Amino acid sequence: MGSFAFLSLAASGPSFPTIPALVILPIIGALTVALTPSARVGLHKLLATLFSGIVGAISVWVLAAFESNSDFQFVSERTWVESLGIQWFAGIDGISLFLVVLTGLLFPLTIVAINPSHDHKAYYVWLLLLQSGCMGVFVALDLFMFFVFFEIVLIPMYFLIGKWGHGNAKYAATKFFLYTMLGSAIMLVSIIALASLHSRDSGNDLTFNLLEIAENPAISTTTGRILFLGFALAFAVKVPLFPVHTWLPDAHTEAPTAGSVILAGVMLKLGTYGFIRFGLYLFPEASHFFAPLFLTLGVLGILYGAVVATMQSDLKRLVAYSSIAHLGFIILGTFALNTQGIQGATVQMINHGISTGALFLLVGIIYERKHTREIANLGGIQKSAPILAGAFTIVMLSSIGLPGLNGFVGEFLILLGAFTANRWWAVVAAVGVILAALYLLWAYQRVFHGQADPSDEEIKDLTHWERLILVPLIVAIVYLGIYPKPMLNRIEPAVDRLVAHVEEHAEEGRFREPTPTVGVRSSFADLVENFEHHEDHHGHDSHHDEGGHE
Amino acid sequence: MFSLAIAPNFASTIVTPDIAWVALLPLLILSGAAILLLTIASIAPKDLSSSAFALFTGISALASAISAIPLWTRVQDAERGPFNTIAGGFSVDGFSLLITFLILISVILVTCLASAYLSDEGVAGPEPYALILLSATGGIIIAGASDLIVLFLGIEVLSIAAYVLAALDMRRVQSQEAGMKYFVLGAFASGFLLYGIALIYGATGSTSLSAIREFLDSAELTNDALLLTGIAMVLIGLGFKVATVPFHFWTPDVYQGSPTPFVAYMASAVKAAGFAALIRVFYGALLSYQTDWKPIIYGLAIATLVVGSLMAIVQTDVKRLLAYSSISHAGYILVGFQSGSNDGVTSVSFYLITYAFMVLGSFTIVSIVGRLSGGKTNLQDFEGLASRRPILAAVFTVFLLGQAGIPLTTGFFAKFYVIEAAIEARSFGLAVTAMVTAVIAAFLYLKILVRMWLDDNDESDRMSMRQARANIPIPFQVGFVLLISGGFTLFFGIWPEPIVELVREALPIL
């Protein structure tokens, strides 16, 4: 791997196997929980919290030790199946860093916050396995390894929805499983074809090494486009993008609270992350070629999610549809194919994880107290539970994208990037921001204000325990909204490198020369150039300190 | 190695070829054991326990496998390498030995299963074990056959014993029906095969696979209608044995009706032997005609994948469901087979090995659940299995996820490998079809999973009957089968390197 200058194996520093620990500790935790006697319910929760908490602590340590450059850090490399060219090859860069941290922290929070209704042991086993799988996806730099984790997360989630879900849970779980599996089935063909073409071209043995394949493109334009579609289908289902989104409302609504939190917080990011890490990186030309398609689908998702969310009578379903709208934004930013857009998309992945995760948590808390999610049957909660209402307000405003809270930063960057690429998509998408305010505020009004059902006026406010869980989320919402610079600084170098790579390899790209109609192009071109000159010395120490875009 | 030549003393005696007896040792041990078993059983007192027969069978299969190990070392030795014996009729190469090992392992596991099952069903006597041994002998003959006549001989020895095994549970009419169906249709297919062999002989002037290959490599046939018809007939005959669509109609009925341990045997060993025959004929002799047979295999593969997975969805009996699933797995193996390359052979071998363990394990569970619910294997009988027998349900989950091709099981690598072979051969359409049908097939495995883990609302009478039977202990030898096959599926699912290297060393040479 020595040929990759940006892959500073030596500079990765400490010999502690960080990434293997992140991925394997939850599995050890799951085994430990599985081996404790079923009767010791408290012990299961304790062990699960302990193991996922350690993973969370390691991820925070990763955040602290991460150097703001475009290198893959903490790289861990092992042969896995030598004869098939399959490696364990993992690393963290700016794009995956915060997703790793999110995965590390959201799981212990969820485990602490929510007790399952029954069958505690299996519940914690599946949650821990899910944490391991998600972690694996975000750190994998080998296509095969990525696929394994991408696919394996289905099993825990399937059981979490099916076994601890409400209503028509079995149907929702099966739908979720089959939809996602169909996507990844086609992706597997694409992955193998890509690796096979690469090895044929280079004359080397088969390899699935992402960097090796991406840096030495060996496919014709047409092949690239076809293979890209294979990947894109898998990611689009996982995101989910507009026409293939139908599993999401079902899965979210029927899932238990923890399932929804993890699904929204972490698992939906597998798709958007996949687009950025694999879609754009492996297929720069095809990304350019299909950008209008995905921009359109993103915008459609924004509008469709918003409109349908407005009409929902079920609070949880409403939040689920709002997710579709938010993920539309992320796709919009991704396929703007410029630094602001992709950076915004990366930031928004984290923001959406925090905000929507917290929203589902709050909806779960309301459901636990009122035993209904029908907006019509709720009302007047604010009177008896002001703190719950306050927490909901902050989270909701962050989800709307109020300046000063985290949601704004991501949405702003995305719209900026999309505007640079093509203003009309940005203009239409901006309508989605307004719609988000509409459906969320309206929902808030109906749920928290108005006349409470006189029969059960006394709704319990947040307990100390629940407050403790929500505090870190709300702190993150406010902190990232007011002072996003440290986060942006860490994300930016990796995004710059990706954008430069895409530009370099996209000779036939339609968006190579932006459409002349974009009048503000020049000022942003300066901005982009400003970033690009750092690419000249993409060694170990390209710290960017002027990264804030506000 | 030394060979015993029977020297001709008189000019008039028939000249017999040199025979490398060592090469035939696995075969001789197995068939000798079968005859010995029958002899002992007829002399020995009537109350000889059937577990003694099972033990004897297991030990002789083990002995046979051990006798094959020196052959494997010899074949892998670069200086000595693979060789032919019986005048080029039987070859010993990596591939034949690999299939031999596979068949012997499944014989051992099936014997464990059968000893528990048969005593439950009240079937006594040494016959089942003798038949398993004979059938395995046929399988080993097929694996090493380098002559069409030897191949046919192997197939008949394998099949006829299998027909009887299917009908062995005489108390149950379904078993008799299964045996009858298997026999009639199987005999018909054998007819096709034999006719095809005759036509190929007519076209090429030889039944020896290597002679056919050399002939086809050197000579240009002005009219190859005879040869093509022969190829088609052989394909029909062998397609029946491995249950490809449209020659699959016997499978669901036979799998449903036959005693479960022997279904496991059919799905693992018989299927492996059938594909070994296909590889011997099509890769060994007819590779230069691959432009003619590859499109046919392509079509067969697609039909098999689609029909197998779609038909499996609507089944309510788990044995029948697994029968259709085994059809769709035959489709995957054809996907690898169709590539016509070394990668194709290795992917087929890999698939056969891994599938054998998964299917053996699955049918073991089915037979246990059948016992728990009084002989029935409907989907309803799996309801709430997870709460009654969590470990059993967990092990079955491993096999089901493996068959669905979920990562970290051998089933995933098996699919990966055949798809890779297909892509290397540029059969993208086939690869995509295979993956899409994998999703359809995943649905049916999910159906069983849902029943086991998520359904727990029983009618009370059935529940009480189950409760009464819920604590039936799993016999030691059945637990052993589950341990081996489950452990194999998981361990090599995470670390498949040894198996990959094994199949790469096991290419058919002769």
pLDDT tens digits, one per residue of A263-320: 988 999 999 999 999 999 999 999 999 999 999 999 999 999 999 998 888 888 999 9
CB of B394 within 8 Å of any CB in chain A?
A: no
**Whether pLDDT at A248 is above 80:** yes
pLDDT tens digits, one per residue of B224-267: 899 999 999 999 999 999 999 899 999 999 999 999 999 999 99
pLDDT value of residue B22: 84
Examine residue B186 and state whether it is found in any structural domain, yes or no.
no
pLDDT value of residue A539: 39
Cα–Cα dist B32/B130, whole Å = 10
Quote the minimal CA–CA distance from B497 to chain A in Å.
5
Query: What are B174's two structure tokens?
Result: 């379904």
Quote the minimal CA–CA distance from A82 to chain B in Å.
7
Looking at chain A, how many residues does it have?
Answer: 550
Question: If residue A442 lies in a helix (H) or strand (E), which one and from where to where?
Answer: helix A423-448
CB of B496 within 8 Å of any CB in chain A?
A: yes
Examine residue B257 and state whether it is found in any structural domain, yes or no.
no
Q: Facing residues of A78 across strands?
A: A88
Mean pLDDT of B51-64: 92
Instruction: Report the DSSP pairing between strands A73-81 and B83-85.
Output: unpaired
pLDDT greater at residue A185 or residue A10 = A185
Task: Judge whether A237 and A183 are in contact, CB under 8 Å.
Answer: yes
Quote the minimal CA–CA distance from A357 to chain B in Å.
26
Q: Facing residues of A86 across strands?
A: A81
Enumerate the residues of chain B whose CB falls inside 8 A of the CB of residue A147: 407
DSSP labels for B161-209?
HHHHHHT--TT-HHHHHHHHHHHHHHHHHHHHHHHHHHHHHHHHS--BH
Q: Give the chain B residue nearest A196 (alpha carbons).
A: B424
Mean pLDDT of A92-111: 92
pLDDT value of residue B357: 96
Report the range out of A511-525, B11-25, B228-242, B463-477 with the highest average pLDDT: B228-242
Cα–Cα dist B420/A208, whole Å = 12
Amino acid at position B506, single letter: A
Q: Give the chain A residue nearest B445 (alpha carbons).
A: A174
Q: What are phi and psi of B268, to 5 degrees?
A: -100, -70
Amino acid at position B238, single letter: L
pLDDT-based confidence at A543, cuts 50/70/90?
very low
pTM of the model: 0.89
**Whether pLDDT at A65 is above 70:** yes
Cα–Cα dist A326/A301, whole Å = 8
**Whether pLDDT at A10 is above 70:** no
> If we measure between CA atoms, which residue out of B422, B429, B395, B427 comes closest to residue B306?
B429
pLDDT value of residue B465: 56
Of B401, B423, B438, the CB nearest to A185: B438
Mean pLDDT of A4-11: 44
Cα–Cα dist A349/B485, whole Å = 42
pLDDT value of residue A424: 87
CB of B468 within 8 Å of any CB in chain A?
A: no
Cα–Cα dist B487/A437, whole Å = 54
pLDDT tens digits, one per residue of B27-44: 999 999 999 998 887 887
**Whether pLDDT at B469 is above 80:** no
Quote the minimal CA–CA distance from B442 to chain A in Å.
8
Quote the minimal CA–CA distance from A411 to chain B in Å.
36
pLDDT-based confidence at B460, cuts 50/70/90?
very low
Best to test chain B binding among A188, A196, A206 (most B CBs inside 10 Å):
A188
pLDDT tens digits, one per residue of A348-368: 999 999 999 999 999 988 888
Domain that holds residue B379: 289-510
**Whether pLDDT at B508 is above 90:** no
pLDDT value of residue A455: 62
Enumerate the residues of chain A whose CB falls inside 8 A of the CB of residue B423: 189, 192-193, 196
pLDDT value of residue B1: 41
Complex ipTM value: 0.90
Query: What are A435's two structure tokens?
Result: 């719609």
**Whether pLDDT at B382 is above 70:** yes
pLDDT value of residue A512: 39
Quote the minimal CA–CA distance from A197 to chain B in Å.
9
Enumerate the residues of chain A whose CB falls inside 8 A of the CB of residue B419: 188-189, 192
Q: Enumerate chain A positions whose Cβ falls within 8 A of a Cβ in B.
A: 80-84, 147-149, 151-152, 154-155, 158-159, 162-163, 169-170, 173-174, 177-178, 181-182, 185-186, 188-189, 192-193, 196
pLDDT value of residue A96: 92
Mean pLDDT of B191-197: 95
pLDDT-based confidence at B466, cuts 50/70/90?
low
Cα–Cα dist A534/A539, whole Å = 10
pLDDT value of residue B356: 96
CB of B77 within 8 Å of any CB in chain A?
A: no
Q: Indicate yes or no: CB of B423 within 8 angstroms of CB of A193.
A: yes
Mean pLDDT of B286-301: 92
CB of B172 within 8 Å of any CB in chain A?
A: no
Of B416, B420, B439, the CB nearest to A178: B439
Examine residue B102 and state whether it is found in any structural domain, yes or no.
no
Quote the minimal CA–CA distance from A524 to chain B in Å.
43
Enumerate the residues of chain B whose CB falls inside 8 A of the CB of residue A87: none
pLDDT value of residue A165: 86
Cα–Cα dist A479/A492, whole Å = 19
pLDDT value of residue B353: 96
pLDDT tens digits, one per residue of A320-352: 999 999 999 999 999 999 899 999 999 999 999
> If we measure between CA atoms, which residue out of A153, A116, A147 comes closest to residue A41?
A116
**Whether pLDDT at A524 is above 90:** no
pLDDT value of residue B296: 93
Cα–Cα dist B142/B154, whole Å = 5
pLDDT-based confidence at A12, cuts 50/70/90?
very low
pLDDT value of residue B240: 92
Best to test chain B binding among A148, A158, A189 (most B CBs inside 10 Å):
A189
pLDDT-based confidence at A515, cuts 50/70/90?
very low
**Whether pLDDT at B403 is above 90:** yes
pLDDT greater at residue A163 or residue B331 = B331
Q: Please report, for residues A475, B207, B246, the alpha-carbon distance to residue B197 in angstroms, rounded to integers and kept in the order given.
A: 79, 7, 21
DSSP labels for B389-425?
-HHHHHHHHHHHHHHHT-TTSHHHHHHHHHHHHHHHT
pLDDT tens digits, one per residue of A410-453: 999 999 999 988 888 888 888 888 888 888 888 888 888 877 66
Q: Give the chain A residue nearest B494 (alpha carbons).
A: A80
Query: What are A454's two structure tokens?
Result: 């006189």
Residues 6+ apart with CB under 8 A from B151: B141, B142, B145, B197, B277, B280, B281
**Whether pLDDT at A542 is above 50:** no
pLDDT value of residue B464: 55
Cα–Cα dist A332/A463, whole Å = 39
Burial of A156 (0-12, 13-18, 19+ CB in 10 A): buried
pLDDT value of residue A190: 93
pLDDT-based confidence at B470, cuts 50/70/90?
low
**Secondary structure percentages of chain B, helix, strand, coil, to 5:** 75, 5, 20
pLDDT value of residue A1: 39
Enumerate the residues of chain B whose CB falls inside 8 A of the CB of residue A192: 416, 419-420, 423, 431
**Whether pLDDT at B408 is above 80:** yes
Query: What are B110's two structure tokens?
Result: 């099936």
For a pLDDT cut of 70, what percent of chain B falls above it?
A: 94
Cα–Cα dist B274/B253, whole Å = 19
Best to test chain A binding among B418, B432, B445, B502 (most A CBs inside 10 Å):
B432
Q: Indicate yes or no: CB of A162 within 8 angstroms of CB of B501.
A: no
Q: Indicate yes or no: CB of A152 within 8 angstroms of CB of B423.
A: no
> Domain boundaries in chain A?
18-537
Mean pLDDT of B420-444: 91
pLDDT value of residue A107: 93
Peptide bond into B508 cis (omega under 30): no
Quote the minimal CA–CA distance from B426 to chain A in Å.
9
Quote the minimal CA–CA distance from A43 to chain B in Å.
20
Enumerate the residues of chain B whose CB falls inside 8 A of the CB of residue A178: 439, 442-443, 446
pLDDT value of residue B311: 92
Cα–Cα dist A253/B139, whole Å = 54
pLDDT, mean over chain B: 88
Of B406, B435, B454, the CB nearest to A155: B406
Q: Indicate yes or no: CB of A174 within 8 angstroms of CB of B446.
A: yes
Mean pLDDT of B267-287: 93
Q: How far is CA B146 from the centre of its chain?
A: 19
- Which stretch of A431-445, A495-509, B311-325, B424-438 has the lowest confidence by average pLDDT? A495-509
**Whether pLDDT at B6 is above 60:** no
